[in-house]
Amino acid sequence: MPLFRRDLIAGAAGIEGLGYQTSSRATSATQQADVAIVGAGLSGLVAARELRRKGLSVHILEARNRTGGRMIRRKTKTGAVIDLGGQWGGATHHRFQSLVEELGIKTFPCYYDGKGVLIWDGERVEANLANKPSNSVLLFDDKQINQPVEDIAKAKAAMKAFRALADSIDPAKPWNAPNAKELDRTSIRAWCEQNSQSRLSDFELEWLSVVGGSGGFDPWDASILHLAWTQSVAPQDEGPESWLVQGAAGQVAECLTTELNSVISLSAAVHKISQSENGVIVNYGDEKSLEAKTAIVAIPPPLRQRITFSPELPSETRSFLQRSPMGSMIKVFAIYKTAFWRHKNLNGFAVGNLKTLELTADSSLPSGTPGILASFVTSSTAVAFQQFSDAEKRKAILDDLIAYWGPEAGRPEELLWENWNAEFWSTGAFTSFVTPGAWTTYGQRWQESHGRIHWAGTEASTRWPGYFEGAIEAGLQAAKKAMKHS
């Protein structure tokens, strides 16, 4: 669960960019480096830094006119600093934690004191968060959520069966799991129908697909094998939303950009990568090229399809990419003078089967001033939501916020949302997912380098893919592979 658009949007007029570097646009027709890196998100930036530390020359080509990709912060008109993309660090996100520390950036624990709120079929309960997975339903203490004992038992049994499934999966080779083909042909929704027999446990599993972990896809979009794989590589029981960055996570990308500024070209969309026995030629922008010994492509998998590879990628790989779309995701912020819920012994965490918001989470600074609730509209709900007028969007969000947190929640100083589906160089979020049948039919070569071309980007990792941690891991792994060619 992630306790957890610039086509910005209502309330967006007051949002200013926070000083990410506008580094040089490429001017000469052909440049050279040991390693060409496509994409200046966290993964590409980390790969570049690592390679430079090993004495190699690098050049990063970034399609947007900014760096950071899905890691981007903004200052709002009331002065709050928010992450439009990723924000949380996890208890076992050791690489991300080390990087943040190395950059001298401060962090603080997320606010989980007091009770959260569950709304189920219109009934609102305040409950403590569970202290261990075995007594948890939807992250709450099962004894406090006011649901029939038999429904709770069914929900826990279904989650137990699902966890066992996740434990049986090799993160690098999900197609080797027992009964993998059958599981890969079974949608999450169909598996729930066979195994859960309770709407509460259906909701818990389906919530994992719409917002938990990888997030952004409906339970009919992916197989139960894929959902179990997401838990084997990014276990939600390990607390992925444990800490926040003082001043927002986006500054990590800004710091790395400052360090690498001289080797980054912005507005440099790569459209072709050709390779020979001796090296690669990367074509970008209008008739510009970069010659290198090897290339790292650090972009989300579906976007690899916008690049022409010569020689072409293996056909299974192309088929797998066609079946790896991004999730649908809109991040919402409600900003208040103070975190008023804290004064009522409430922690700002809410879940429920409401119409629009999948969850809310306290994203304020430790002081609670201003009070910030982050939230998400996801999957098919996000697709319908993005077609609403701004007034309809605002109403839909406020209705849910009021249901969770009372009338005060209906009077935010600012309400803003970022539609990642509308971002051409992301096309969705948090990450990509895999459609039913694709892992076992086309997935076997998903991590294989294509000659001198190595894959990075968070999705290329087998530990916390979809997260900052996975982006770092994948960047370091790709750097290691690129060194062999340099």
> Coil, strand or helix: which one is 20?
coil
Structure tokens at 392: 């309809």
**For 143-244, where are the alpha helices, taking DSSP H only?**
149-167, 180-185, 188-195, 199-210, 224-233
Task: Compute the least distance from the CB of residue 425 to ligand FAD, in Å.
Answer: 3
Single out the segment in contact with ligand FAD by CB under 6 A; choices: 27-35, 98-106, 377-385, 464-472: 464-472
Q: How is residue 485 written in tokens? A: 């060619």
Cβ contact 347:116 at 8 Å: yes
Could you tell me which stretch among 13-21, 106-114, 380-388, 428-436 binds ligand FAD (CB under 6 A)? 428-436
Token code pair at residue 449:
């380098």
CB of 68 to ligand FAD, least distance (A): 6
**Does 97 help bind ligand FAD (rule: CB under 6 A)?**
no
Position among 212, 325, 352, 457 found at the interface with ligand FAD (CB under 6 A): 457
Supply the minimum distance, in Å, between the C-beta of residue 338 and ligand FAD.
23
Q: Are 306 and 271 in contact (CB under 8 A)?
A: yes
- Is 165 a binding residue for ligand FAD by CB under 6 A? The answer is no
Binding of ligand FAD by 63 (CB under 6 A): yes
Closer residue to ligand FAD in complex, CB, 184/469: 469
Q: Between helices 224-233 and 149-167, what is the axis angle to 10°?
A: 80
Size of the site for ligand FAD (CB under 6 A): 42
Residue 410 burial (10 A CB sphere; 0-12, 13-18, 19+): middle
Q: Would you say 44 or 174 has its CB closer to ligand FAD?
A: 44
List the x/- string, 250-289, binding to ligand FAD by CB under 6 A: -------------------xx-------------------
Q: CA–CA separation, 82 vs 426, rounded Å? A: 19
CB of 44 to ligand FAD, least distance (A): 6
Binding of ligand FAD by 381 (CB under 6 A): no
Given candidates 12, 211, 225, 298, which one binds ligand FAD under the rule CB under 6 A? 298
Stretch that binds ligand FAD, among 151-159, 384-392, 420-428, 446-454 (CB under 6 A): 420-428
CB of 395 to ligand FAD, least distance (A): 22
**Out of 26, 33, 35, 61, which residue is the one contacting ligand FAD (CB under 6 A)?**
61
Secondary structure of residue 328 in the 3-state scheme? coil
Distance CA 41, CA 467 (A): 12
425 lines the binding site for ligand FAD (CB under 6 A): yes
The two structure tokens encoding residue 113: 């004191």
Cβ atoms < 10 Å from Cβ of 27: 8
Provide the token pair at 201: 């446990």
Among residues 228, 226, 164, the alpha carbon closest in space to that of 437 is found at 226
User: Which is nearer to ligand FAD, 157 or 365 (by Cβ)?
Assistant: 365
Partners of 294 in the β-ladder: 35
- 480 CB contacts (<8 Å, ≥6 apart)? none
Token look-up 């896809």 returns 217
Tokens of 136: 């948890």
- Of 430, 476, 435, 470, the closest CA to residue 454 belongs to 476
Binder among 5, 48, 51, 62 for ligand FAD (CB under 6 A)? 62
List all residues 6 or more positions away from 411 whose beta carbon is below 8 Å from its beta carbon: 336
426 binds ligand FAD (CB under 6 A): yes
33-52 positions binding ligand FAD, by CB under 6 A: 38-44
One of 227, 339, 429, 453 touching ligand FAD (CB under 6 A) = 429
Among 430, 433, 442, 455, interactor with ligand FAD by CB under 6 A = 430
Residues 305-364 close enough to bind ligand FAD by CB under 6 A: 306-307, 329, 331
Residue from 467, 477, 479, 485 that binds ligand FAD (CB under 6 A)? 467
**Selection from 295, 266, 299, 269 nearest residue 283 by Cα:** 269
In the complex, minimum distance from the CB of residue 218 to ligand FAD, in angstroms, rounded to a whole number:
17
The least CB distance from residue 361 to ligand FAD, in Å, is 9
Residue among 20, 50, 69, 462 that touches ligand FAD (CB under 6 A) = 69
User: Who contacts 315 (Cβ-Cβ below 8 Å, separation ≥6)?
Assistant: none
**Closest Cα partner for 405 from 451, 440, 367, 361?**
361
Q: Looking at 32-40, 187-195, 335-343, 396-404, which segment touches ligand FAD (CB under 6 A)? A: 32-40
Cβ–Cβ under 8 Å, residues 215 and 329: yes
243 binds ligand FAD, rule: CB under 6 A: no
Residues in contact with ligand FAD by the rule CB under 6 A:
2, 4, 38-44, 61-64, 69-71, 85-88, 269-270, 298-300, 303, 306-307, 329, 331, 420, 425-426, 429-431, 457-458, 466-468, 471
